[in-house]
Structure 1
Amino acid sequence: MNMKPRPAKEELIPLLQMLDTFHPVGQGVKQHLLKKVYFRNVPKGRYLLQDGEICHSLYFIKKGLLRGFIKENNKEITTWFAVENEMAAAIRSFLLQIATIENIQAAEDCELLAIDFSDLNKMYQKYPSFNIIGRKITEFHYTSADIRAYITRLHDAKKKYALFLESYSHLANRVQLTHVASFLGITIETLSRVRAKTSTRKRLK
């Protein structure tokens, strides 16, 4: 018996508005989402997914902040952040339905809307227009991943942090500094020095 809590129609509005920015959402898709999307609440600090598990669902964040990271020699390496009105998943695990090497953790209390892999694929088959939405969302996240990869490949810590502020200004005062440093591939000490110099330059302008 399926006991997953389903959202009311009005509770889907943020998700539908986000989808509409990529391509108009038809009534058939809206009705399908109403039947198949379910709630998932994750308290701060709790894992949504852990290394070795299969990511069976794609998530839309109504409220909160999720962090993706991998572990190497007991060290956490942050790979991405996602906040309100964004989608999140361990994407390789989700698309291929294989065990993930990623961990997804709630960095804040999170209210999520989720859809299972099988239900999402049924939507692609039943509603051809929804494939356009899927393609455009994939393109958006691919370009975001490209920006993240570029930042991590830079050697200059100042450039890394400047690009972080440029691309993720909405996260600057929301994410723990240890997680920002890990995301940028620098030490917390280096990040602190760069932030201090950046603040000094802003005050002098």
Structure 2
Amino acid sequence: MKEDLQKFAGEKVTEITGSEIPEKGEIEGEILREIKIFGKQTFLIFDRIIFKVHLMMYGSYSLFKRKDIDTLKLGLKFKDGGMFFYTCIVKVVDESYLLKIDWETDIMSDEWNPEKTEKTLKSNPKMMICDALMNQEIFAGVGNIIKNEALFRVGIHPESLIGNLPDKKLKEIIAEARNYGFDFKKWKKANVLSKHFQIYHQKNCPVCGAEIIKKDTGKSKRTSFFCEHDQKLY
């Protein structure tokens, strides 16, 4: 999404629409200075205002033209088009909010710090790895698909306790969360993401053929898909 929106960076807002907007006078005529991403949050940065947009599970966006639906939360028009966000959460934040963000926890950021992530995980030995992967303060940007597929790739059962994981396996899952993030992006852009699912919403394990287990795991009770034969419970 950032790549799509980037064409409007440096452009002046000519009109603002939507149900989640401040007073129009605060934004019309303002220049979009920068677009920053943290995990699943998008920040539209202007001189006098910063919008935080989170698409959640069912949000969407369009470029240039508004969709013919009534769930528009924020629409920004520019000289040559616009950006429109639907069925999402839009909030206004200040610069201090951005300063508090730990950009090193974003799995797709150039500032990603796997050593720091490992240290954080080791300080939570009783946490299940499935909960850790979904914790946006540890793995910003990881969702349920990445959680399941990355755990399958490295052969770790989602209910494994972090303190029981050997150092080698802990490093593997940290690295694979980031690796799968880039694979996800590549396949999503090519519209072939679901064709590459090995475990997520699948029936049988592609390695041993056993039936894949579907279970709500961890404190978050998010659905996990796993193979009891090829994913070890630590």
Q: Which has the higher contact order (CA 8 A, sep 6+)?
A: 1
Bigger Rg, which one? 2
Report which of the two has the higher share of helix: 1
